[in-house]
């Protein structure tokens, strides 16, 4: 009787293991953070890029103005890809672009902007990455469309052509 039970038990066990792996392969393990739109922006005080002056979020973000906060770094290849869209936004009077330079050397950041152009009204230095974490960023680049101290849209990764037109439509 023992001999017949063991093969049956092994077959059942293998079936469970097979279905467990099969279900696991169907689940996406790509992390997509939950974007809490209409959330208030974090309150902070930070240093400006390359100077000792500090600025607070209350000084930067005024009501009835659209802002595009962009977290970027000179070592970030996708940041170069999206830069042309930021330069295009900077030509518009309807939106102001604020930059957070993430874990970067000041010299490298300046070289990046000298090479590609500076679309930012204000650039904040985030040498240790804590300010970006407060915003909910988990990589660079990331961008946030802000109006009246609220986040209207978050773009994870580089701004694409679709994101560009979507932001332009929201700002109209």
Residue 126 in domain: yes
Contact 82, 53 (CB under 8 A): no
Residue 125 in domain: yes
H/E stretch holding 9: helix 2-26
Residues whose CB is less than 8 angstroms from the CB of residue 156 and which lie 6 or more positions away in sequence, other chains included:
32, 33, 35, 138, 139, 142
Residue 64 in domain: yes
3-state secondary structure of 4: helix
d(CA 120, CA 143): 13
Residue 15 in domain: no
- Asked whether residue 13 carries a pLDDT value surpassing 90, the answer given is no
Q: What is the mean pLDDT of residues 3-24?
A: 81
pLDDT attached to residue 134:
92
Residue with tokens 């469309």: 145
Written as six digits, the tokens of 136 are 């909910």
Whether this prediction's pTM lies above 0.75 is answered by yes
Q: Tell me how far CA of residue 91 lies from CA of 85, 118, 152, in angstroms.
A: 10, 11, 21
Q: What is the mean pLDDT of residues 133-152?
A: 93
3-state secondary structure of 122: strand
Q: Which residue range is the domain that position 129 belongs to?
A: 45-171
Residue with tokens 């974007």: 35
Least confident of 27-31, 40-44, 64-68: 27-31
Q: What is the mean pLDDT of residues 8-31?
A: 78
Strand partners, 55: 46
Written as six digits, the tokens of 66 are 């659209």
Mean pLDDT estimate for the chain: 89
Written as six digits, the tokens of 15 are 């079936």
CATH number at residue 119: 3.40.30.10
Number of H helices, E strands in the chain: 6, 7
pLDDT attached to residue 30:
55
pLDDT attached to residue 2:
58
pLDDT attached to residue 5:
75
pLDDT digits (tens, 9 = 90+) for 58-110: 999 999 999 999 999 999 999 999 999 999 999 999 999 999 999 999 999 99
d(CA 52, CA 148): 28
- Asked whether residue 1 carries a pLDDT value surpassing 70, the answer given is no
Residue 3 in domain: no
- Asked whether residue 20 carries a pLDDT value surpassing 70, the answer given is yes
Q: How many domains are contained in the chain?
A: 1
Residue 16 in domain: no
């Amino acid at each position: 009787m023992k001999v017949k039970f063991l093969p049956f038990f092994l077959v059942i066990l293998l079936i469970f293991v097979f279905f467990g792996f099969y279900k696991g392969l169907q689940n996406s393990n790509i992390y997509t953070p939950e974007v809490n739109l209409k959330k208030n922006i974090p309150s902070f005080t930070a240093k400006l890029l390359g100077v000792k002056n500090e600025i607070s979020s209350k000084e930067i973000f005024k009501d009835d103005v659209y802002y595009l906060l962009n977290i970027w770094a000179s070592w970030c290849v996708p940041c170069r890809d999206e830069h042309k869209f930021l330069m295009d936004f900077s030509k518009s009077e309807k939106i102001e672009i604020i930059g957070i330079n993430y874990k970067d050397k000041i010299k490298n950041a300046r070289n990046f902007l000298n090479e590609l152009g500076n679309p930012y009204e204000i650039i904040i230095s985030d040498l240790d990455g804590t300010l970006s974490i407060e915003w909910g960023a988990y990589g660079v680049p990331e961008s946030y469309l802000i109006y009246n101290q609220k986040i209207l849209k978050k773009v994870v990764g580089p701004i694409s052509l679709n994101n560009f037109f979507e932001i332009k439509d929201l700002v109209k």
